[in-house]
Structure 1
Amino acid sequence: MSNKTQWQSVCSVDDLIAESGIAVWTADGPVAIFYLPNRIPCLFAIGHTDPFSGSNVLARGITGDLKGQPVVASPLYKQHFNLETGVCLEDDAVQVPTYPVLLDGNNVVLEVPVKSQVKEIA
């Protein structure tokens, strides 16, 4: 298995919704990108799959701040995931993957495996 990665455009800034998430597809699987314009950094990317249900729903969760940590609450069982580390606040043995993400002009770019094919999913 290769550890090589590349930065790849996954969506435009216009696709982002303040204080919310969108889902994109990568070779590594579905990824949830969150835009929190009142924080620095303002973009976060974590795995879109809720580890408790196996459903791709985390981009649909409610964002917030718990004890100074940016989090998303899963829309299914309400566990909170730290957007910086991916760790579940209710069970720190559970974690979702995190991905480096940044703005490149009007494009949101995500660090993904080299052979990634990216498309936006609904």
Structure 2
Amino acid sequence: MHNDRQSKQWTAVCRLDQIVPNTGVCALVNGEQIAVFHVLDGEQRVFAIGNYDPNAEAAVLSRGLVGSLGERIVVASPIYKHHFDLQTGECLEAPEHSVSAYPARIGDGQVWIAA
């Protein structure tokens, strides 16, 4: 049986405690900038999306403000304040400018990204 989790290349990008809760950092994985977020909302979770904001044409999403809109956990881009869903990468205001989302997990105190 084919297991999707095993087919991806998981990369440890940093220790979880190196990311302040409810903020993001930028990691370079396979030559691509990925915004990695540590969300603490009753449980510790991590999310990873592309760092490049196509609305602003700048690699800034890791510096955005993390919050929620309804049930969605989002980051607001620091430039034009567009909201990106941290689970899917969808840009809520301009879906045509959505970004990639990557599997992310916590293991042995490390943040792991599959890209």
Calculate the TM-score normalised by the size of structure 1: 0.83
Deviation, 1:94, is 2.1
Unaligned runs of 5+ in 2: 1-6
Contact in 1 for aligned 2:45/2:106 (Cα 8 Å): no
- Pick the structure with more helix per residue: 2
Distance 2:44 2:17 in 1: 18
Q: Which consecutive segments of 4 or more residues in structure 1 shift more than 2 A?
A: none
2:72 aligned residue: 69
Matched, 1:98 2:95: no
Distance 2:86 2:45 in 1: 11
Q: Which protein has greater RCO, CA pairs closer than 8 Å, 6+ apart?
A: 1
- Pick the structure with more strand per residue: 2
Unaligned runs of 5+ in 1: 113-122
Question: How many residue pairs end up in the alignment?
Answer: 109
Task: Report the identity percentage.
Answer: 36
Contact in 1 for aligned 2:89/2:100 (Cα 8 Å): yes
Distance 1:49 1:39 in 2: 29
> Please, what is the CA RMSD of the aligned residues?
1.5
2:16 aligned residue: 13
- Amino acid paired to 2:85: N
Deviation, 1:5, is 3.1
Q: Classify the secondary structure of the residue corresponding to 1:42.
A: strand
